[in-house]
Amino acid sequence: MDKKANIWQLLFFVAIPLVPLLVFWIIPLFVSVWLSFTNWDYISPDYEYVGLSNYLNMLADEAFLQALGNTLLFAVGTVIPTIILGFIFAVMLSRLRRNVTFLQGLMFAPWITPMIGMSIVWSWMFDPRVGPVNQMLGFFGLPEPHWLTDSNFAIWAVIIVTVWKNTGWAMLFFSDALTKIPQSLFEVADIEGAGRWAKIRHILIPLVSPTTLFLFIILTLDALQAFDQINVLTQGGPSGSTRTLLYLYYELAFEQFNMGAATAVAVLILVISAILSFISMKISKKYVYY
């Protein structure tokens, strides 16, 4: 008997994972692109083709430009601190001898907690009068902002929650990367006369760079898709100051029932994600050591 699978058997095995991918991913992707050229209202059966006008309107819309700015601020404001803090905590933990697993678990806990529940707790933490955040700021005589209702602070509140949630997760990846660096590399550095900063700069940072790149891409995509915390904490407000592109999409699609404009935003999010991933892969050729 022939031990090799024939072509139909092979296709069958490939089809099983391909079906959900097609149904939930590839087909909706093309449908979205198609919808972005229409003015469908999400409910009625008829629609008209409007060409590029959804895109043109979008680029002229101030709400969109504000959302784009918010998204950039939110992405930069969460990704960079998450990576830096995750790295610092991992390095600190790697110097401990005892309780490492316990502390790692403690720091990792926010990541396995559902964002919705956590956001509700944080909305109480940020309460301007009785919330612990302002109590603490007040104790040190610092200004006590109205975190969630002041348009200058709301985005920072959301950023703080997101960084807090993701740091433990990033730390875990860095911890693993650090354990893979042979001890002798640091011993050589000692003998060669490298101080603490030189060791971090010339050995630690370059040798964890594949992890940094991975976290950068995943966290950036995660930032572009942030929704739960914004929905619970601020609903995009006050005055659109926490409305990111994805939240704008949600509002356009499910509050204003303007599916054409919404899918145009969605397509743009996809394009931005693709461009960012592409750029980071390009940059990585130079700075990431494998």
Partner 1 sequence: MFVLGIIELKNVSKSFDNKTNVIDDLNLTIESGEFVVLLGPSGSGKSTILRMIAGLEPITKGDLFIKGKRQNDVPAKDRDIAMVFQNYALYPHMTVFDNIAFGLKVRKVNKGKIEEKVEKVAEMLGLTSYLKRKPKDLSGGQQQRVALGRAIVRDTDIFLMDEPLSNLDAKLRTTMREELVQLHRELSATTIFVTHDQTEAMTMADKIVVINEGKVQQIGTPAEIYNYPANLFVAGFIGSPAMNLLPLQENRSGFAFAGQMIQTPGFTTQPDGLILGIRPEDCKISGKGYPVKITFIEDLGADQYIHGISGGRKVVIRESPDKRFRIGQHTFFTMNPEKISWFDKKTGKRLEPADEPFTGDELRVYHG
Q: How far apart are CA 167 and CA 177, in angstroms?
A: 15
Instruction: Give the 3-state secondary structure of 66-123.
Output: HHHHHHHHHHHHHHHHHHHHHHHHHHHHHHCCCCHHHHHHHHHHHHHCCHHHHHHHHH
Min dist CB 207 to partner 1, Å, is 6
| H/E segment holding residue 262 | helix 259-287
Min dist CB 192 to partner 1, Å, is 4
Quick one: 146 or 199, whose CB is closer to partner 1?
Answer: 199
Question: With 0-12 CB in 10 A as exposed, 13-18 as middle and 19+ as buried, what is 67?
Answer: buried
Quick one: 208 or 245, whose CB is closer to partner 1?
Answer: 208
Quick one: 282 or 286, whose CB is closer to partner 1?
Answer: 286
Q: Is 102 a residue that touches partner 1 (CB under 8 A)?
A: no
Could you please report the per-residue DSSP string of 177-220? HHHTS-HHHHHHHHHHT--HHHHIIIIIHHHTHHHHHHHHHHHH
Q: Which residues pair with 14 in a beta bridge?
A: none
User: Which residue in the set 1, 16, 60, 191 belongs to the binding site for partner 1 (CB under 8 A)?
Assistant: 191
Stretch that binds partner 1, among 77-85, 150-158, 177-185, 264-272 (CB under 8 A): 177-185
Q: Are 159 and 142 in contact (CB under 8 A)?
A: no
Min dist CB 86 to partner 1, Å, is 20
Could you please report the per-residue DSSP string of 248-261? HHHHHHHTS--HHH
Min dist CB 195 to partner 1, Å, is 7
Helix (H, G, I), strand (E, B) or coil at 49: strand
Min dist CB 78 to partner 1, Å, is 28
Q: Is 73 a residue that touches partner 1 (CB under 8 A)?
A: no
Stretch that binds partner 1, among 18-26, 66-74, 103-111, 178-186 (CB under 8 A): 178-186
Min dist CB 186 to partner 1, Å, is 9
Q: How far apart are CA 40 and CA 56, in angstroms?
A: 17
Q: How far apart are CA 33 and CA 19, in angstroms?
A: 20
Quick one: 209 or 231, whose CB is closer to partner 1?
Answer: 209
Q: Is 33 a residue that touches partner 1 (CB under 8 A)?
A: no
Q: Is 142 a residue that touches partner 1 (CB under 8 A)?
A: no
Q: Is 48 a residue that touches partner 1 (CB under 8 A)?
A: no
Quick one: 139 or 289, whose CB is closer to partner 1?
Answer: 289
Min dist CB 288 to partner 1, Å, is 9
Q: How far apart are CA 39 and CA 250, in angstroms?
A: 16
Helix (H, G, I), strand (E, B) or coil at 3: coil
Restricting to residues 200-259, name those near partner 1 by CB under 8 A.
202-203, 206-207, 209
Could you please report the per-residue DSSP string of 9-25? HHHHHHHHHHHHHIIII
Quick one: 15 or 185, whose CB is closer to partner 1?
Answer: 185
Min dist CB 121 to partner 1, Å, is 42
Q: In the complex, which residues of this chain contact partner 1 (CB under 8 A)? A: 182, 184-185, 187-195, 198, 202-203, 206-207, 209, 289
